[in-house]
Chain A
Amino acid sequence: MFEELSRKLDGVLKRLRGEGKLSQGNISETLREVRRVLLDADVNYKVAKRFIDDVQQRAIGKEVLQSITPGQLIVKIIRDELVTLLGTSNSELKFSSSPPTVILIAGLQGSGKTTFSAKLANELKKQGRHPLLVAADVYRPAAIDQLTTLGSQIDIPVYSVRESDAVSIASHSVDHARKNARDVVIIDTAGRLHVDEEMMREVEAIKYRTKPSEILFVVDAMTGQDAVNTAKAFHDRLNFDGAVLTKMDGDARGGAAISLRATVGKPIKFLSTGEKLDALEKFHPDRLASRILGMGDIVSLVEKANEQFDQEKAAKLESKIRKSQFTIEDFYEQLQEMKKMGPLSQLVGMIPGMNKLPQGAAVDDGAMVKIEAIIQSMTREERQKPQVLNGSRRKRIAMGSGTSVQEVNRMLKQFDQMQKMMKTMSKGFGGGGMRRMARGIPGF
Chain B
Amino acid sequence: MGILDKLRFEKLKQGLSKTRDGLFGSVTRLVTSKNTIDDEVIEQLEETLIAADVGVEATMEIIEAIRKRIKEERYADVQELQHLLRDEIQRQFVQTSNEFTDPFNITGQKPHVIMVVGVNGVGKTTTIGKLAHHFAQRGMKVTLGAADTFRAAANEQLEVWAKRADVHLIRHAKDGDPAAVAFDAVQSATARGDDVVIIDTAGRLHTRVNLMEELKKIRRVIQKQNPDAPHETLLILDATTGQNGITQAREFGAAVGVTGLVITKLDGTAKGGIALSITRTLKIPVRFVGIGEQLDDLQPFSRKEFVDALFEETAT
Contact = CB atoms under 8 A, between A and B. Distances in A.
B43 to A, nearest CB: 12
B268 A193 contact: yes
Interface in A194-245: 194-195, 220, 222-230, 232-233
A431 interface: no
A247 B51 CA distance: 22
A194 B268 contact: yes
Interface stretch (B25-33, B85-93, B154-162, B279-287): B154-162
A273 to B, nearest CB: 11
B161 A141 contact: yes
A250 interface: yes
A267 B268 CA distance: 25
B157 A146 contact: yes
Nearest to A344: B209
A2 interface: yes
A222 B119 CA distance: 10
A112 interface: yes
A147 B151 CA distance: 11
Nearest to B159: A142
A238 B213 CA distance: 42
Choose among A2, A40, A142 the residue with the greatest number of B CB atoms under 10 Å from its CB: A142
Given A146-B152, A220-B240, A49 B160 contact: no
B176 to A, nearest CB: 15
Interface string B221-243: 00000000000000000101111
Contact of A49 (B13, B120, B161, B293): B13
Interface size class of A (residues with CB under 8 A): 35 or more
A224 B120 CA distance: 16
A336 interface: no
Nearest to B270: A226
Contacts of A232: 316
Nearest to A342: B208
B4 A251 contact: no
Interface in A145-203: 145-150, 153, 193-195
Contacts of B122: 110
A222 B314 CA distance: 20
A42 interface: yes
Contacts of A195: 267-269
B119 A229 contact: no
Contacts of B274: 224
Contacts of A247: 119-121, 205
Given A36-B2, A110-B122, A345 B153 contact: no
Interface in B1-28: 2-5, 9, 12-13, 16
A225 B157 CA distance: 30
B166 to A, nearest CB: 15
Interface stretch (B52-60, B94-102, B181-189, B304-312): B52-60
Interface string A3-44: 000000000000000000000000001001101100111100
A365 interface: yes
B160 A110 contact: no
A2 B12 CA distance: 29
A36 B13 contact: no
Interface stretch (A126-134, A252-260, A303-311): A252-260
A226 B240 contact: yes
Given A40-B56, A142-B156, A229 B242 contact: no
Given A39-B50, A142-B153, A251 B207 contact: yes
B242 A149 contact: no
A36 B9 CA distance: 11
A343 B208 contact: yes
B200 interface: no
B4 A252 contact: no
Contacts of A334: none
A275 interface: yes
Nearest to A43: B242
Given A41-B243, A49-B13, A226-B268, A365 B209 contact: yes
Contact of A220 (B13, B53, B121): B121
A227 B270 CA distance: 9
Contacts of B129: 141
A109 B314 contact: no
Contacts of A108: 240, 265, 268
Q: Which of B13, B157, B243 has the most CB of A within 10 A?
A: B243
A45 interface: yes
A444 interface: no
B111 interface: no
A220 B264 CA distance: 15
Contacts of A233: 316
Contacts of A112: 120-121
B242 A252 contact: yes
A142 B209 contact: no
B60 to A, nearest CB: 10
14 contacts: A36-B56, A40-B56, A45-B47, A45-B51, A108-B268, A109-B293, A146-B152, A223-B241, A227-B240, A230-B269, A249-B205, A252-B242, A275-B120, A365-B209
Top 5 nearest A-B pairs (CB, nearest first) are: A224-B242, A110-B121, A141-B160, A42-B242, A142-B156
Given A220-B121, A251-B247, 6 more contacts: A33-B4, A42-B53, A141-B161, A193-B268, A225-B52, A250-B205
